[in-house]
Amino acid sequence: MQTFPQRVYRLVSKIPKGSVATYGQLAALAGSPRAARIVGAAMVRAPAGLPCHRVLYSDGSLCCEQAFGGKEIQRGLLQEEGVSFLPDGRANLKKHLWPGPEEPSKK
């Protein structure tokens, strides 16, 4: 039994390029649909190499600019990944929302 953030890190690390996931979704995949806050807090403690820029709000909007150094940066990174953006400034969740771990990671 690992810590919650620990599990979230693995899930975020599994997000394929060109896909995005929401905090609530990661929390639900981690086992607690209401622990989206824990996921965010874990992101701060997240080690380097974690594509935290692929994690967005439920609406597809990005968190505070202090999140990873600038939301503009995150938007640019996602575009580099191939993620489309709406004229509202939100990511196209309908088109790039991560379906989740299709594979039943054993156990």
Partner DNA sequence: CCGTTGACCCTTC
Partner DNA sequence: AGAAGGGCCAACG
The contact set with DNA (CB under 7 A) reads: 3-5, 22-24, 31-32, 34-41, 43-46, 52-53, 57-58, 63-64, 67-68
Beta bridge partner(s), residue 56: 22
Q: Looking at beta carbons only, is 33 or 82 nearer to DNA?
A: 33
Catalytic residue selected from 11, 43, 52, 83: 52
Please, what is the minimum distance in Å from the beta carbon of residue 99 to DNA?
17
Please, what is the minimum distance in Å from the beta carbon of residue 63 to DNA?
4
Q: Any catalytic annotation for residue 64?
A: no
Q: Looking at beta carbons only, is 2 or 103 nearer to DNA?
A: 2
Please, what is the minimum distance in Å from the beta carbon of residue 101 to DNA?
18
Rounded distance between C-alpha atoms, residue 25 and residue 97, angstroms = 10
Asked whether 20 and 60 are in contact (CB, 8 A), the reply is yes
Contacts of 60 (CB under 8 A, 6+ apart): 20, 22, 86, 90, 91, 92, 93
Asked whether 21 and 84 are in contact (CB, 8 A), the reply is no
Q: Looking at beta carbons only, is 52 or 83 nearer to DNA?
A: 52
CA 26 to mean position of chain CA atoms: 7
Q: Which residues are catalytic?
A: 52
